Amino acid sequence: MKIVFAGTPEFAAQAMRALDAAGHQVVLALTQPDRRAGRGMHLHISPVKEFALEKNIPILQPASLRLNSVDLEKRTQAEAAYQQLANTDFDVMIVVAYGLILPQAVLDLAEQKGRHGCFNIHASILPRWRGAAPIQRAIEAGDSKTGVSIMKMDAGLDTGDTVLVRELNIAPTETSATLHDRLALLGAQLIVETLESIAKGRGLSFTPQAHEGVNYAEKILKAEAEIDWQLSAVEIDRRIRAFNPFPGATSTLEGLAIKFWHSRIPRAVPELLVGQPGEVVGFTKDGALLQCGNGLLEVLEIQKPGGKKMSANTYLQTHASSSKALRFHKE
C-alpha cells in the first residue's frame, strides 16, 4: 500500500521501518522541523527524517498544519504542505507521535474515495492515557499494565475508534526507556497487521472508546523532575523510573544537581534505619538507602553534572561522613 507517514521520534521510525520491511511504500513523510539540541546547540534531524533520507522518501517539515494559523509564516507552510498532500497519490495515512495536530482538512484527504483513512499508533490502552506522554504517566501512576492501541483518527485528541488493542505488563522495575522499546516493537507489529487486514480485504472492526476511565497524559515538563522527598518511597520510585530517560529525576547534594536513574523498593531493611526525608541512612550491596516521607528507597544508579552514570553505592560512600548526615534536598 502507498502510505503517507507522519511521525518524529524513534517510536515512529520503528513503525516506519516495519512498514517498509513488510513491502509497503511510504510515498511521503511528514516530520517535525529540525531542532537544535545539546551543548553545542547543533541541528538534529528526527529519526523519521533520517530513515526517509535513507530511502529517498520525499519529506515535509512544516512548523504547523493549521490552515487558519494567525502566524503568516506557519500558515504559508501549512498551505504548502496541504497542497503537496492533496497532490500525492496514497492509500492510507499513518500517524505516530508526530507532535503536530492534524486538522480536519488533512484527515479529510485520507478519507477520499478509494482511500482507507488515517490511523494512529498510540502507546496506551485507550482511553486510559490520551495525550502526549502515555508511557511516562502509566509508570508514574503505578499502572500494572499498558499496551498499544491502533486508532482510526478523528478531530479529537486520541478519541477515535480503536481497531486493534494489545496489552503489555509493566514490570516493577520498568523505566520509560525500557517500556518505550517494548511498546515501539508492539506498535510496529500491530500497524503492519492492520494494513495487512485492509490489503487482504478482511476488513476492520471499529470499537468506540469508553466514556469512563479517560485520563490525559500531559507532556512531561523539566520542572517535574525535582524529587520531593516528603513523598512516599513508592511515589518517588515511580517518578524516577517514569522520568528515565527524560528529563531525569534530580535532587541536590552538596550544591550539585544529581540525577537519579535507577531505584527500587527494598525488600527488607533494618527497623533502626531512620532519618530525615532525603537523608542517606545506609548502604546495600547494590545501592544506597534514602529516607522518604514514608518508607525507604534503594537508589541504584545516579549521575553528577558532567559525569557518567555510576553506582549510587560507590558515589555516596565516598561522600559519607561519620560526623555529618548526607542528605539530598530540593534546590
Residue 327 domain-assigned (yes or no):
no
- 295: exposed, middle or buried (C-beta count within 10 Å: 0-12, 13-18, 19+)? middle
* Domain span at 120: 2-217
Same domain, 210 and 230: no
- 73: exposed, middle or buried (C-beta count within 10 Å: 0-12, 13-18, 19+)? exposed
CA 195 from chain center: how many Å? 24
| Boundary (domain end) residue, out of 173, 198, 217 | 217
pLDDT at 155: 87
| Boundary (domain end) residue, out of 175, 197, 217 | 217
Q: Which residue has the cell 499498558?
A: 146
CATH at residue 284 = 3.10.25.10
CA distance 108 to 254: 57
Same domain, 136 and 239: no
Specify the DSSP element, H or E, that contains 7: strand 2-7
Residue 328 domain-assigned (yes or no):
no
Same domain, 278 and 149: no
When divided into structural domains, the chain yields a total of 2
Q: How confident is the model at residue 270 (pLDDT cuts 50, 70, 90)?
A: low
**Taking 80 as the threshold, does the pLDDT of residue 268 lie above it?**
no
Q: What is the rounded average pLDDT of the residues 248-259?
A: 95
Q: Helices marked H in 22-166 — which ranges?
A: 47-54, 72-86, 104-110, 134-140
CATH at residue 9 = 3.40.50.170
**Taking 80 as the threshold, does the pLDDT of residue 273 lie above it?**
no
For the segment 42-61, what is each residue's pLDDT rounded down to a tens digit?
789 999 999 999 999 999 99
pLDDT at 321: 65
Same domain, 295 and 149: no
Same domain, 190 and 315: no
For the segment 228-244, what is each residue's pLDDT rounded down to a tens digit?
999 999 999 999 999 99
Residue 325 domain-assigned (yes or no):
no
Same domain, 257 and 312: yes
Residue 69 domain-assigned (yes or no):
yes
Specify the DSSP element, H or E, that contains 256: strand 256-264
CA distance 153 to 92: 12
Same domain, 142 and 274: no
CA distance 69 to 64: 8
Same domain, 188 and 261: no
Residue 196 domain-assigned (yes or no):
yes
| Boundary (domain end) residue, out of 217, 240, 272 | 217
Same domain, 9 and 96: yes
